[in-house]
Copies of this chain bind each other. A is one copy, B any other.
Amino acid sequence: MTAYKDLSKEELLQIKSGLEAEYERFKSAGMKLDMSRGKPSTEQLNLSMGMMDVLNSGSDLVCKEGVDCRNYGVLDGIEEAKKLFADMMEVPSDNIIIFGNSSLNVMFDTVARSMTHGVMGSTPWCKLDKVKFLCPVPGYDRHFAITEYFGIEMINIPMTPDGPDMDLVEHYVNNDPAVKGIWCVPKYSNPQGITYSYETVHRFAKLKPAAEDFRIYWDNAYGIHHLYEDKQDYLLEIFQACKAEGNPHMVYKFASTSKISFPGSGISVIAASHSNLNDIRKQMRIQTIGHDKLNQLRHARYFKNIHGMVEHMKLHADIIRPKFDAVLTALDSELSGLEIGSWIAPRGGYFISFDAMEGCAKAIVAKAKEAGLSMTNAGATFPYGKDPRDSNIRIAPTYPTLDELKEAVKLFIICVKLVSIDKILETKE
Chain B residues, Cβ within 8 Å of A53: 56-57
Instruction: For the complex formed, measure the closest distance between the CB of A407 and the CB atoms of chain B, giving whole angstroms.
Output: 22
Q: Mark A114-157, 1 if CB is under 8 A from B, else 0.
A: 01110000001011000000000000001001100110000000
Interface presence of A344 (CB below 8 A) = no
How many chain-A residues does the 8 Å CB contact rule pick out?
Answer: 55
Interface presence of A68 (CB below 8 A) = yes
Taking a contact as CB atoms under 8 Å apart, the answer to whether A116 and B112 are in contact is yes
Given contacts A100-B292, A264-B292, A290-B264, contact A59 B52 (CB under 8 A): yes
CA distance A336 to B277 in the complex (A): 50
Interface presence of A289 (CB below 8 A) = yes
Taking a contact as CB atoms under 8 Å apart, the answer to whether A262 and B39 are in contact is no
Taking a contact as CB atoms under 8 Å apart, the answer to whether A263 and B72 are in contact is yes
Closest B residue to A149 by beta carbon equals B286
Binds B, one of A101-109, A165-173, A209-217, A383-391: A101-109
Instruction: For the complex formed, measure the closest distance between the CB of A86 and the CB atoms of chain B, giving whole angstroms.
Output: 21
Interface presence of A37 (CB below 8 A) = yes
Within 8 A of B (CB), among A8-53: 37, 39-40, 42, 45, 48-50, 52-53
CA distance A142 to B72 in the complex (A): 14
8 A-B pairs besides A37-B72, A124-B126 with CB distance below 8 A are: A39-B71, A45-B70, A69-B265, A72-B258, A102-B290, A108-B287, A142-B286, A265-B292
Interface presence of A295 (CB below 8 A) = yes
Taking a contact as CB atoms under 8 Å apart, the answer to whether B286 and A40 are in contact is no
Interface presence of A73 (CB below 8 A) = yes
**Oligomeric state, in copies:** 2
Interface presence of A294 (CB below 8 A) = yes
Interface presence of A159 (CB below 8 A) = no
Chain B residues, Cβ within 8 Å of A347: none
Interface presence of A226 (CB below 8 A) = no
Taking a contact as CB atoms under 8 Å apart, the answer to whether A263 and B102 are in contact is no
Given contacts A126-B124, A263-B72, A264-B70, contact A150 B56 (CB under 8 A): no
Instruction: For the complex formed, measure the closest distance between the CB of A115 and the CB atoms of chain B, giving whole angstroms.
Output: 5
CA distance A126 to B117 in the complex (A): 11
Closest B residue to A285 by beta carbon equals B145
Task: Give the 8 A-B CB pairs with smallest separation, nearest first.
Answer: A70-B262, A108-B287, A49-B57, A265-B294, A126-B126, A72-B263, A105-B288, A102-B288
Given contacts A40-B71, A57-B53, contact A292 B289 (CB under 8 A): no
Taking a contact as CB atoms under 8 Å apart, the answer to whether B72 and A45 are in contact is no
Supply 28 A–B pairs (Cβ within 8 Å), ascending by A: A37-B72, A40-B71, A50-B57, A52-B59, A53-B56, A69-B265, A71-B262, A72-B263, A72-B264, A100-B291, A100-B292, A102-B289, A102-B291, A104-B288, A104-B289, A108-B287, A108-B288, A112-B116, A115-B115, A116-B126, A142-B289, A149-B283, A149-B286, A262-B294, A263-B289, A264-B293, A265-B294, A292-B295
CA distance A57 to B57 in the complex (A): 14
Closest B residue to A74 by beta carbon equals B264
Instruction: For the complex formed, measure the closest distance between the CB of A194 and the CB atoms of chain B, giving whole angstroms.
Output: 23
Closest B residue to A104 by beta carbon equals B288
Chain B residues, Cβ within 8 Å of A424: none
From B48, B73, B115, B295, A116 is in contact (CB under 8 Å) with B115
Interface presence of A413 (CB below 8 A) = no
Taking a contact as CB atoms under 8 Å apart, the answer to whether B102 and A101 are in contact is no
